[in-house]
Amino acid sequence: ILALQQFFVVKLFLFPAVRISGTMPELPELHGMAHVINVHAQGRIYDKCTKSSVTKLPRVNAPKGRFTISAEARGKELRMTLQSEDTCKSVFILCNMGLTGFFEAVECVKAKHRHAHLSFRATDGTVLSFVDQMRFGSWHSMDTNEWSNGRGPDPVKEHDEFRLGVVNAIATQPSKFKSKPICQVLHDQSLFNGIGNYLRAEILCRAG
């Protein structure tokens, strides 16, 4: 757990909004994407939400009229909040990045990435988009600000809860660990939410 914590601290503070090409998005990348969204959305008002014609994912029922956007990451999930300027009611979008998903902000509609599949236009003409070349990512709208069931606490933002969950699982659910290599245990998202292949390799290397 100590090696896990140390690696995340370095990753998040040195590279808060970096997209690593060819790397499946994991916990640090999701936190970086939330940062990108919040930086772009600060002080901006949005008035349109569209999805590409090629995606089979559902349309997002964005608030009517003008709305603001904010984002938060937890493990391997990212949740956007679209809040109406008129009614203050919110629509929540829970996103999974899949293998190649990331968020990008550009100066106008014409500059949008060719693989932008969910886009939000601001009143100043800039566009915030969910880009996903392989289309393994997903999103769905919600009326409440909930996270997916079955995922544990965020190892960085909810570190005390994360640590307690692992310790309790060792004591009360030994079957999760018995006769299993640690590399397999680290992929259990109910305990290690946000851990994927490259993080697992880095953590085990640093732990010795």
Q: Which positions are catalytic?
A: 25-26, 76
CA distance readout (Å), 153 to 36, 106, 115, 117, 187: 22, 32, 31, 29, 14
CA distance readout (Å), 170 to 9, 73, 167, 177, 185: 25, 26, 5, 7, 11
Cα distance between residue 1 and residue 11, in whole Å: 15
Cβ 110 vs Cβ 121: under 8 Å: no
Dihedral sign from CA coordinates of 91, 12, 115, 125: positive
- The tokens describing 105, both together, are 């902000």
Q: Which residues are CB-contacts of 88 (< 8 A; sequence separation ≥ 6)?
A: none
Cα distance between residue 12 and residue 4, in whole Å: 12
